[in-house]
Structure 1
Amino acid sequence: MSDPRTVSLGLDTFGDVTHDAEGRPLADAATIRNVVDQAVLADEVGLAFFGVGEHHRPEFAISSPEIVLAAAAARTRDIHLGTAVTVLSSDDPVRVYERFATLDAVSNGRAEVILGRGSFIESFPLFGYDLKDYELLFEEKLDLFTRLLEEKPVTWRGRTRAPLESADVFPKTENGLKAWIGVGGTPESVVRAAQHGLGLMLAIIGGPADRFRPLVDLYHRSLASFQRATPPVGVHSPGHIAETDQQAWEEAYPGFESMGNTIGRERGWPPYSRMRFQHDVGPEGAVYAGSPETVARKIADTVRTLGAQRFDLKFSTGTLSHDKLMRSIELYGTKVKPRVEELLAE
């Protein structure tokens, strides 16, 4: 079981384009400014991490997370700032490292990067990459990025970008850059994270948490076989918090329905329904929505089940308004966090 003194609670957002009180979508610019305000509140209520996802589609306003995080860094003091996730496959590892090393400097050592292949594919044609190279792009770029983390001159050759010969990259960080791999549930991705000695961030967006316990066990076995240290295990799951279960569910459902149907039309899923939502917020689902007590108990159960060291709540889904997101953050920090710590200490 995880030591409650080492379990930290964070937040993730994709910068979902929210609606105003009249139900009209906000401008992307307003959504981005709101995300910075959300990070500031997260810091004020004592949360450990604020993550911003990278997307290149109309439902999400943030395509350059590091710039948003740098703005948040200037207005926060303690909270760690990172991505959820950075799509490394369609970016350049050298530039990713340089941007996050710069963020680490302006935030006084609070930068983290969560690397992933991306569950959306818009960035690949946008930046000129062929989807048939999906696996190769991530494998090679991750190999190069982990070498850059050592902050020494790098010699590297591959098929997906120009070679490097004793290349030194700047700026250097003061204490190193913390990096994770975001994993959707494939054993190959888990072994890859262990091979490179990076933290494992499990994106659990469907089903019960105990379904992922074999992957955590595989991760620890793989770390041992590669003779690696033991980086942390984290969980990323969606949710929403309000004063009561019913209020949280009523507030959250329209956003989940909107996003579920938008993505579902692209991927051939059935229409999202109230029945599906009520299952997802229940014990066997991956949505952490409800009162502070309900959400705290579900998080504590997940942390115990997986031996996780961090839980990141993806607090924005669909069109849920900024004021409700702010209230959810406030309750998460002031009510859920201390209650999770109490439950884990019992």
Structure 2
Amino acid sequence: MELGVSTFVETTPDVETGETMSHAERLREVVEEIVLADQVGLDVFGVGEHHRHDFAASSPAVVMAAAASLTTRIRLTSAVMILSSSDPVRVFQDFATLDGISNGRAEIMVGRGSFTESFPLFGYDLKDYEEIFNEKLDLLLKIQESEKVTWSGKHRPVIHNLGIYPRPVQNPLPVWIGSAGSPESAIRAGSLGLPFALAIIGNVNPSQYASQVRLYKESAAKAGYDVSRLPVASHSHGFIAENRQMAVEKFFPSTYARTNVRAREKGIPPYHRSDYDAACSFEGALYVGDPETVANKIIHLRKHVGITRFFLHVPHGTMPHADVMQAIRLLGTEVAPRVREEVARLEINNQ
């Protein structure tokens, strides 16, 4: 069981002062967060790609490379790379470079992206949304398999027996499929035998994602893959403090502000305190509370959904850096040991 942190490196206005941090300052903070996560024994840190004024990480590999030489064991992954609007050759090269700097700790998590700003920015048409992703994933996996590649498609120039460099330390360099929960994504990941990551967010009961994991594993088994060797990750917003009420109250303002910005953009009903409180309950999708509460929710997810990796997405919106660092510290020193001990006990009992 692996535990880690994910971030979108948000630079939203501070809910108390109204001030907006610079992209540069937030990027430097994230490097500090990665270093701390490594120091407290967490397994993985993920950085998501965005191309908006309220996010600072348009290049996750560069952000993580800044932390790679300052860390020793934590794995470094995108969460996610928007593969549809990226060049798979450059994505592979960037993460192979990160893999070399980190001595074999890089991973690529790819997805189609819930934000679409990158499509016009890089000259892609949204009507090709699904087709582009499938084509570019095919190319990325060919590069993963072989140093020299021959490939042709509709949305990118042909490659004829060309080498892709540098080569990574890991062979193969891990490629994950990230999904917001569509059955098509579960089937795609399973059919290709790729690790699968689910974004479990919003007003949902995380246990309902068990059906997605079953579909993923059924597809993998049908394609001839050893299901027992395929990892499944989840990504959920959350926050940890010394006691539950402190965590709930500290995480609410930025979550409320950020979620309502998205609600207005999407034209959906506004987010209320009652929605937040429901999501903070044991059956909700926010992993907010004291270490024992958060550990118990992660263990429940392991039992009922079958995840093998958990990302705590913190912060959601802009929060004081000291609070974020303390949440990471508690995740590594108090939550992770509880979860690992219980998962180990469950595995022994199931043998």
Tell me, which stretches of 5 or more residues in structure 1 are unaligned?
1-6
What are the Cα deviations for residues 279-315 of structure 1, in whole angstroms up to 9, with x where unaligned? 1111231110011111000011001112211011111
Kindly state the Cα deviation for residue 167 of structure 1 after the two structures are TM-superposed: 1.9
Work out whether 1:9 is the aligned partner of 2:6: no
Q: Distance in 2 between matches of 1:294 and 1:88?
A: 36
* 2:191 match: 195
Given residue 7 of structure 2, which amino acid in structure 1 is its aligned partner?
Answer: T
* 1:257 match: 256
Given residue 145 of structure 1, which amino acid in structure 2 is its aligned partner?
Answer: L
Work out whether 1:137 is the aligned partner of 2:132: yes
1:81-120 mapped onto 2 (5 Å cutoff): 81-120=76-115
What are the Cα deviations for residues 187-245 of structure 1, in whole angstroms up to 9, with x where unaligned? 11111111222100011113112211111111111111111233211111110000111
* 2:58 match: 63
* 2:21 match: 26
Shift of the 256–14 alpha-carbon distance from structure 1 to 2, 3 Å rule, reads same
Kindly state the Cα deviation for residue 151 of structure 1 after the two structures are TM-superposed: 2.5
CA contact (8 A) 1:208 1:286 kept: yes
Q: Distance in 1 between matches of 2:126 and 2:95?
A: 26
SS at match of 1:75: coil
1:171-186 mapped onto 2 (5 Å cutoff): 171-176=166-171, 177-186=173-182
* 1:305 match: 304
Kindly state the Cα deviation for residue 81 of structure 1 after the two structures are TM-superposed: 0.5
Q: Distance in 2 between matches of 1:103 and 1:193?
A: 24
* 2:210 match: 213
Q: Distance in 1 between matches of 2:266 and 2:168?
A: 41
* 1:275 match: 274
Q: Distance in 2 between matches of 1:284 and 1:17?
A: 30
* 2:291 match: 292
What are the Cα deviations for residues 98-153 of structure 1, in whole angstroms up to 9, with x where unaligned? 11001000000000110000010010011111000000110100011111111332
* 1:236 match: 235
Kindly state the Cα deviation for residue 23 of structure 1 after the two structures are TM-superposed: 5.2
Kindly state the Cα deviation for residue 343 of structure 1 after the two structures are TM-superposed: 2.9
Kindly state the Cα deviation for residue 22 of structure 1 after the two structures are TM-superposed: 4.8
Count of paired positions: 340
RMSD of aligned Cα (Å): 1.3
Q: Distance in 2 between matches of 1:174 and 1:90?
A: 26
Given residue 17 of structure 1, which amino acid in structure 2 is its aligned partner?
Answer: T
* 1:3 match: none
* 1:4 match: none
Tell me, which stretches of 5 or more residues in structure 2 are unaligned?
347-351
Q: Distance in 2 between matches of 1:36 and 1:116?
A: 23
CA contact (8 A) 2:15 2:257 kept: no
Kindly state the Cα deviation for residue 27 of structure 1 after the two structures are TM-superposed: 0.9
Work out whether 1:152 is the aligned partner of 2:147: yes
* 2:349 match: none
SS at match of 2:145: coil
Q: Distance in 1 between matches of 2:33 and 2:120?
A: 31
What are the Cα deviations for residues 53-93 of structure 1, in whole angstroms up to 9, with x where unaligned? 00111221111111110001011111001111000000000
Q: Distance in 1 between matches of 2:22 and 2:34?
A: 19
Kindly state the Cα deviation for residue 267 of structure 1 after the two structures are TM-superposed: 0.5
Q: Distance in 2 between matches of 1:305 and 1:72?
A: 34
CA contact (8 A) 1:21 1:321 kept: no
Given residue 304 of structure 2, which amino acid in structure 1 is its aligned partner?
Answer: T
Q: Distance in 1 between matches of 2:219 and 2:147?
A: 26
Shift of the 20–204 alpha-carbon distance from structure 1 to 2, 3 Å rule, reads closer
SS at match of 1:149: helix
* 2:159 match: 164
Given residue 151 of structure 2, which amino acid in structure 1 is its aligned partner?
Answer: W
Shift of the 283–246 alpha-carbon distance from structure 1 to 2, 3 Å rule, reads same
CA contact (8 A) 2:147 2:165 kept: no
Kindly state the Cα deviation for residue 168 of structure 1 after the two structures are TM-superposed: 1.6
CA contact (8 A) 1:208 1:283 kept: no
Kindly state the Cα deviation for residue 174 of structure 1 after the two structures are TM-superposed: 2.5
Q: Distance in 2 between matches of 1:213 and 1:127?
A: 36
SS at match of 1:81: strand
